[in-house]
Amino acid sequence: MKLEHLTILLLLVFNLIPISFAQDDCVDALDCESSWVTLTEVEQEAVFEFAEEYKAFIHLARTELSFVREAIAFAEENGFEPLTTTSSLRPGSRIYEVNRDRTISLMVIGEEPLQNGFHVIGSHIDSPRLDLKGRPLYEDSEFALFQTNYHGGLKYHQWTNLPLALMGRVDKKDGTVVNVTIGLDADDPIFMIPELSPHVDRSRNSQTLGNFIEPEDLDPVVGHIPDTINDGDVVDQVLAYLGAEYGITRADLVSAELALVPAGAPRDMGFDRGLIAAYGQDDRLAAYISMRAVAEIATPQKTTMAFLVDNEEVGNRNNTGARSDHFADLLSRLLYAELGNDYREPLFRSALRNTRFISIDVNPGINPMNPGEWETGNAPKLGYGVNLKLYGQGNNANSEFVAWTRALLDDSGVPWQTATYRVGSAGGGTIGGEFSRQNIEVIDFGVPLLSIHTPFAVSSKIDVYNLYRAALAFYGFQE
């Protein structure tokens, strides 16, 4: 980001110059216009430049493993150091912690004691994709293919005839780790699940969309040329390539985490370039925002944290998901490092009770293809800012924390809206519930997308930017 744009942003966030993002009629009457309407030329330039930085990051960070690698590089470039047993916890100290290469936390130590609580923004860094099975490689009709399994909710037919990249890691028995990224560069090969042409599949036209392509049909072609040197077939040729290029065998694929993700780069959408079409915006959009924001905080009042976790799309499972004890363990370690022998369990529990936690996750916005799927009075619209998620049925933040959040956003000039699904017709979840169970004050919010859970979701650049401003305001909040 250019220095003049960063300066303008910080002045806007901390109310040192008038804020054109805010709309007086919107604050109390909820009579809002698109956030684009009130932007100055300089502000719009800052929005567009921020979007370019965001697109460049998520182009490479397409899985939780690649996100964490890119986040470590970002953290170290911004003065964060790995958390160790000797790490300084002085106000302003910048530290990061990685859990099994699939979860990362970036923290800036605050002026107040840790037992007074934290300000945490949590997001997930996994997205719907196709994972390779443990024994993926097979031959059919003289093609080599990979057997896959889906990760998260997706529409199967949307993953056919789509250029796919292969990303992940292979762990060998000797402890060697082989990182794999094939398909992102223009010179790389891609992989694809070929659909039948309309000339030969007329008999399937009467099938429902859900049955037209089934989960076991999602097997991409990965090779075509037989191994003529060794008088083998096309699978032998693929194994020979994997051995020569990566030093891995068929058995090594059993201890691999390899995923197929859309290969296309993030792109601007529309004549006005106001939208971003990109894979993985659920939820690496929010993860990038919270990471960027925490890196721009100097010495906060309360210790701030961007907590970025894996496996939300499959129910927060495993020791790298939000259901793990890793978050509580991390806070406990920090508190012990501060208190030493004065550490007591009630002090840790008090720190949890005093913590404010924002669970940021994107959600579907009103779609022009079928706007009737929403009850529009409680539906989020692209370009209208951060949306507070009011699910109902016992899943809301309590009213006092909603009011606190409204005040934070209004005082910072950040436009906001609300999001409630049509009753009984839709649903979704975030990582928020896992932390609310720990007696933490939690609220869910995010920004709306079009085409969520598809290979290319669509966000509004102004919403991305306003979510970033909201995160800055939360991290920099002074009691």
Burial of residue 86 (number of CB atoms within 10 Å: 0-12, 13-18, 19+): exposed
Chain-centroid distance of CA 453 in Å reads 12
Q: Strand runs (DSSP E) across 38-99, as ranges?
A: 81-82, 94-99
| 14, pLDDT greater than 70 | no
Tokens 């990051």 sit on residue? 57
Chain-centroid distance of CA 436 in Å reads 20
At residue 278 the predicted structure's pLDDT band, cuts being 50, 70 and 90, is very high
| 70, pLDDT greater than 90 | yes
CA distance 429 to 312: 9
Residues of the chain with CATH 3.40.630.10: 3-127+279-475
Residue 149 half-sphere exposure toward CB, CA atoms < 13 A:
9
CA distance 343 to 241: 55
- Token pair for residue 153? 């909710």
| 231, pLDDT greater than 90 | no
Contact yes or no for 225/237 (Cβ under 8 A): yes
**Residue from 422, 424, 466, 425 nearest 445 by CA:** 466
What pLDDT, on the 0 to 100 scale, is given for residue 16? 44
Classify domain 129-262 at the CATH superfamily level: Aminopeptidase i, Domain 2 (2.30.250.10)
CA distance 361 to 435: 14
Measured over all CA atoms, what is the biggest interatomic distance in the chain, rounded to whole angstroms?
76
> Average pLDDT in the 23-33 region?
74
260-276 residue pLDDT tens: 999 999 999 999 999 99
At residue 194 the predicted structure's pLDDT band, cuts being 50, 70 and 90, is very high
- Token pair for residue 106? 């970036």
CA distance 13 to 474: 10
Arithmetic mean of pLDDT over the chain: 91
At residue 30 the predicted structure's pLDDT band, cuts being 50, 70 and 90, is confident
84-121 residue pLDDT tens: 999 989 999 999 999 999 999 999 999 999 999 999 99
Q: What is the DSSP string of 241-288?
A: HHHHHH---TGGGGGEEEEEEE-PPPEEESTT--EEEETTHHHHHHHH
Residues of the chain with CATH 2.30.250.10: 129-262
Q: Cα-flanking dihedrals φ and ψ of residue 425, to 5°?
A: -115, -10
CA distance 305 to 285: 17
Q: Show Cβ contacts of residue 344 under 8 Å, excluding neighbours closer than 6 positions.
A: none
CATH code reported for the domain at 3-127+279-475: 3.40.630.10
> What single letter denotes the amino acid at residue 303?
T
Strand partners, 130: 150, 260
| Overall size of the chain counted in residues | 479
> Average pLDDT in the 16-44 region?
75
**Residue from 135, 193, 131 nearest 161 by CA:** 193
What pLDDT, on the 0 to 100 scale, is given for residue 18? 42
At residue 19 the predicted structure's pLDDT band, cuts being 50, 70 and 90, is very low
Contact yes or no for 309/103 (Cβ under 8 A): yes
> What single letter denotes the amino acid at residue 464?
V
Strand partners, 418: 388
| 224, pLDDT greater than 60 | yes
Contact yes or no for 374/455 (Cβ under 8 A): no
| 10, pLDDT greater than 70 | no
At residue 25 the predicted structure's pLDDT band, cuts being 50, 70 and 90, is low
Considering only 160-174, 252-266, 379-393, which range has the smallest mean pLDDT?
A: 379-393
